[in-house]
Amino acid sequence: MSARLAKGEKLPPVLLPGIAQTAIEAYLVASGDDNPLHRDPELALAAGLADVPVPGMLVLAHLAEYLGQWPECRRIAALSGRFVSPVLVARPIRIEARIMAIDTSAGTATLRITAAQEDRLAVLAEARLLVRLEGRLAQAAP
Amino acid sequence: MIGVAATQPVGRFPVGTPSAAVARFREAIRLGGTPATRGDAVPPTFPITWLAAPAVRSALAAALGGSVPESGTALIHLSQRIVLQRALALDTTYWLDVALVTGEPARGFALEATVTDAQDQPVASLAGRFAVVHRPAP
């Protein structure tokens, strides 16, 4: 995964085939999350959802993994996400990111990341990354 | 926006990054079957697991008047912020100071937490907002 290290550049998008119930279950066990909303379709329906929702933090963790695969990323220093609408089980998810700012003195880049499902924004996130700046800064646009 | 309201301390808890738990978590968040990005690193979202620890949950339930978040409470996670002053180290014990943010959201709760090391140096901070889903009457 490559993208020029320049403000406004986009990272290559990723289309996930969807997060299966078994993957949700593995995350719930690994994270200690016992929220029944992620296991019980009837409860999800009663809460007004069309299906079982994927834990928001699992989606945010996927966004972090996505950023971590960017070769310019040394480490994620900050990550925040707003769970705008539910990501539902077993439906494709599209992840995109754009570089919003670069701080050469701090060696950081700020990115806005989105996760969308069926053209609906699900997670709006922002991350501050420590990046590899050595000789890799793109020429600033005139 | 989190951080402008008053906070109510919930407690101070020892937490950690045991290799086995981190490996299990890393495996669970792999992106579409690709290898984990850094096999030796603690994922930046791993600290969320600390909020599910029984001692933290019990203290939270008590601070919230016993209504939430008892085990099995249905919650909707509205937002989450994680700031890492430095990377978390494997097999290391930290201290987690948890506080309730009073007054928001109306039908849920908000948390702030700070993570410090054994020398009481800041390592990370967390802030999250949650809404409570009430089960329909049978």
Phi-psi region of A22 (alpha: psi -120 to 50; beta: other; left: phi over 0): alpha
pLDDT tens, chain A, 142 aa long = 667 889 999 999 999 999 999 999 999 999 999 999 999 999 999 888 999 999 999 999 999 999 999 999 999 999 999 999 999 999 999 999 999 999 999 999 999 999 999 999 999 999 999 998 876 666 544 4
* Reported pTM: 0.92
Residue with tokens 């020398």, as numbered in its chain: B119
Say how far apart CA B45 and CA A60 lie, in whole Å. 8
Chain-chain contact of B37 with A37 (C-beta, under 8 angstroms): no
Tens digits of per-residue pLDDT, B7-53? 899 999 999 999 999 999 999 999 866 666 666 689 999 999 999 99
Chain-chain contact of A81 with B80 (C-beta, under 8 angstroms): yes
Nearest CA to B53 among B15, B99, B3? Answer: B15
Strand partners, B82: A79, B126
Chain-chain contact of A65 with B37 (C-beta, under 8 angstroms): yes
Residues 6+ positions from B114 with CB-CB distance below 8 Å: B96, B97, B122, B124, B125, B126
Whole-angstrom distance between the N-terminal and C-terminal Cα of chain A? Answer: 26
Fold designation for A14-19+53-137: Thiol Ester Dehydrase; Chain A (3.10.129)
- Closest residue in chain B to residue A19, using alpha carbons only: B32
**B79 in contact with A at a CB cutoff of 8 Å?**
yes
The distance of A51 to chain B (nearest Cα, Å) reads 14
Torsion sign over Cα B22, B41, B82, A81? negative
ipTM greater than 0.85, yes or no? yes
The distance of A142 to chain B (nearest Cα, Å) reads 34
**A101 φ, ψ to 5°?**
-160, 150
**B75 in contact with A at a CB cutoff of 8 Å?**
yes
Strand partners, B75: B132
Chain-chain contact of B28 with A37 (C-beta, under 8 angstroms): no
Q: 3-state DSSP call for residue B63? A: helix
Residues 6+ positions from B1 with CB-CB distance below 8 Å: none
Q: A81 contacts in B (CB within 8 Å)?
A: 79-81
Output the six-digit token pair for B58.
């019990």
